[in-house]
Amino acid sequence: MLDQIHLLAAVTVLGVLEQAYFFLQVIYARRAFGISPPKSSGPPEFERIFRAQVNSSEYFPIFLALLWQAGLFFHQGVAAGLGLLYLCARYCYFIGYRTSSSKRLPAIYFGTGILWILIAASALGIIHFFLSHYMGLNVLQLLTV
Amino acid sequence: MLDQIHLLAAVTVLGVLEQAYFFLQVIYARRAFGISPPKSSGPPEFERIFRAQVNSSEYFPIFLALLWQAGLFFHQGVAAGLGLLYLCARYCYFIGYRTSSSKRLPAIYFGTGILWILIAASALGIIHFFLSHYMGLNVLQLLTV
Amino acid sequence: MLDQIHLLAAVTVLGVLEQAYFFLQVIYARRAFGISPPKSSGPPEFERIFRAQVNSSEYFPIFLALLWQAGLFFHQGVAAGLGLLYLCARYCYFIGYRTSSSKRLPAIYFGTGILWILIAASALGIIHFFLSHYMGLNVLQLLTV
């Protein structure tokens, strides 16, 4: 079973490490700007870093859910490759957002595009499974005939 | 293996699409009320939509965790059906909250009720597995005798 | 398959119950301090409870991701044990934070330490799988020779 998920697991752990990096940046920013918890508002420079982390945290379960469905039902290698691209896009988003609000945009468009590809891959894989499981239709076989 | 999780995977992807819809509503509201990131406060109309999305994001990993445990240890079809009901409740919650704070309440009570049923189903399924795995007790068999 | 994940599933459901407890504390605090949604700011006593719940929610998907990778690729029992310790640390964090911001610190250091151990266990387990799957190297066997 593990050989069907080891690439997904590796990307998952890399994603956790990236989240840890984002959390650390917020801790450093709290110290630099003197903003102690539970406060979460402050100068725009701090709020941009804070919001970048919050946004990345909100997307993390969505990313994992899609990574694993696409990896299990479409193709593990493709899903893991897209997952790595997404983690890169998230990193660029964070670095860009820290500089200015507008600099987060290219990376967020790219990252969101990857998530939509993962949604499409998951949906195709699951629909393909439903067709073959419930109706005995093998679409890939039909297309090649 | 995939035939034991395909319904859970389908509900998971539907849940992601719903989260995407909520994120889009916040983006539209940001434009309509002229509130650019990293700001997240504004008129109550905006804050209700914003909080509805934040709350849905916070519950999403909890929902997925229960959906999958209930589906794996209790019954896949029952868990997926409850999952679909939960996604409906979340949609009604979001639409209601957008109108007024009090209109989110019926849907949140219904949605929380479904989560508690999923918790009960997961717990029953896992306890049943523990009893048969470690003590050789098959409770279902004992009940029918 | 279920005997490889039943301990992870049990800890996952316990984690969900803990999250439910945190959500309830915020609801009680909202009533006690008269802060109705969508508002999320108020006196420090309320904001500490609110931030404790938000922080726990942000870490929950990270915790689950690590629990399951460590459990699948390293050792299920060890991962589940560490998971229980983490849930205790989270509880102490919440109770401490409610009293004062500084009282959350010991528990958060302990909890973060457990997450790093889970990261290390996951990484070791996955690297071990990669070495044996792609290069035919069994590191454990080599070490004992």
Q: What is the pLDDT of residue A145?
A: 66
Of C31, C48, C51, C98, catalytic: C31
Q: What is the pLDDT of residue C137?
A: 82
Query: Tokens in use for A136?
Result: 């005995």
Q: What is the ipTM of this complex?
A: 0.94
Q: What is the pLDDT of residue C37?
A: 85
- Which of B1, B3, B4, B6 to mutate to test binding with chain A, by most A CBs within 10 Å of its CB? B6
- Which of C50, C58, C134 to mutate to test binding with chain A, by most A CBs within 10 Å of its CB? C58
A24–chain C Cβ distance below 8 A for any pair: no
> Would you list the DSSP string of A57-78?
HHHHHHHHHHHHHHHHHT-HHH
Contacts of A77 (CB under 8 A, 6+ apart): A7
Q: Which of B52, B101, B123 sits opposite C13 (nearest CB)?
A: B123
B131–chain A Cβ distance below 8 A for any pair: no
Q: What is the pLDDT of residue B145?
A: 66
More confident residue, A50 or C138: A50
C65–chain B Cβ distance below 8 A for any pair: no
Contact B72 C10 (CB under 8 A): no
Residue A98 catalytic?
Answer: no
Burial classification of residue B101, based on how many CB atoms lie within 10 Å of its CB (0-12 exposed, 13-18 middle, 19 or more buried): middle
Side-chain half-sphere exposure of B93, counting CA atoms within 13 A:
25
B99–chain A Cβ distance below 8 A for any pair: no
Q: What is the pLDDT of residue A1?
A: 84
pLDDT in tens, chain C (145 residues): 899 999 999 999 999 999 999 999 999 999 999 999 888 889 999 999 999 999 999 999 999 999 999 999 999 999 999 999 999 999 999 999 999 989 999 999 999 999 999 999 999 999 999 999 998 888 777 777 6
Give CA angle at A118 (A14, B77), nearest 5°.
Answer: 100
Residue A104 catalytic?
Answer: yes
Other Cβ atoms less than 10 A from the Cβ of B107: the count is: 19
Long-range contacts of C131-138 (CB under 8 A, 24+ apart): C133/A3, C133/A6
Residue A144 predicted with pLDDT over 90: no
Residues from chain A that touch B31, judged by Cβ atoms under 8 A, are none
Crossing angle of helices C44-73 and A44-73, in 10° steps, is: 30
Residues from chain A that touch C51, judged by Cβ atoms under 8 A, are 37-38, 40
Q: Are B70 and B121 in contact (CB under 8 A)?
A: yes
Residues from chain B that touch A119, judged by Cβ atoms under 8 A, are 13, 16-17, 20
Chains within contact range of chain A (3+ C-beta pairs < 8 Å): B, C
Distance between CA atoms of residues C15 and C13, nearest Å: 5
Q: What is the pLDDT of residue C145?
A: 66
Burial classification of residue A29, based on how many CB atoms lie within 10 Å of its CB (0-12 exposed, 13-18 middle, 19 or more buried): buried
Q: What is the pLDDT of residue A14?
A: 98
Distance between CA atoms of residues B7 and C9, nearest Å: 18
Q: Are A50 and B7 in contact (CB under 8 A)?
A: no
| Parent domain of C26 | 2-144
Residues from chain B that touch A130, judged by Cβ atoms under 8 A, are 6, 10
Distance between CA atoms of residues A35 and A54, nearest Å: 16
Q: What is the pLDDT of residue C95?
A: 96
Q: Are B83 and B139 in contact (CB under 8 A)?
A: no
More confident residue, A91 or A139: A91
Distance between CA atoms of residues C49 and C101, nearest Å: 10
Q: What is the pLDDT of residue B118?
A: 98
Residues from chain C that touch B48, judged by Cβ atoms under 8 A, are 37-38
Return the CATH number at A35: 1.20.120.550
pLDDT in tens, chain B (145 residues): 899 999 999 999 999 999 999 999 999 999 999 999 888 889 999 999 999 999 999 999 999 999 999 999 999 999 999 999 999 999 999 999 999 999 999 999 999 999 999 999 999 999 999 999 998 888 777 777 6
Q: Are B82 and B118 in contact (CB under 8 A)?
A: yes
Whether the model clears a pTM of 0.90, i.e. scores above it, the answer is: yes
Q: Are C98 and C34 in contact (CB under 8 A)?
A: no
pLDDT in tens, A78-133: 999 999 999 999 999 999 999 999 999 999 999 999 999 999 999 999 999 999 99
Burial classification of residue C1, based on how many CB atoms lie within 10 Å of its CB (0-12 exposed, 13-18 middle, 19 or more buried): exposed
The CA–CA distances, whole Å, from A93 to A56, A82, B103, B129 equal 9, 16, 35, 44
C34–chain B Cβ distance below 8 A for any pair: no
Contact A101 B3 (CB under 8 A): no
B5–chain C Cβ distance below 8 A for any pair: no
Distance between CA atoms of residues B40 and C43, nearest Å: 19
Distance between CA atoms of residues A78 and A76, nearest Å: 6
Q: How many structural domains does chain B have?
A: 1
Strands (E), B74-143: none
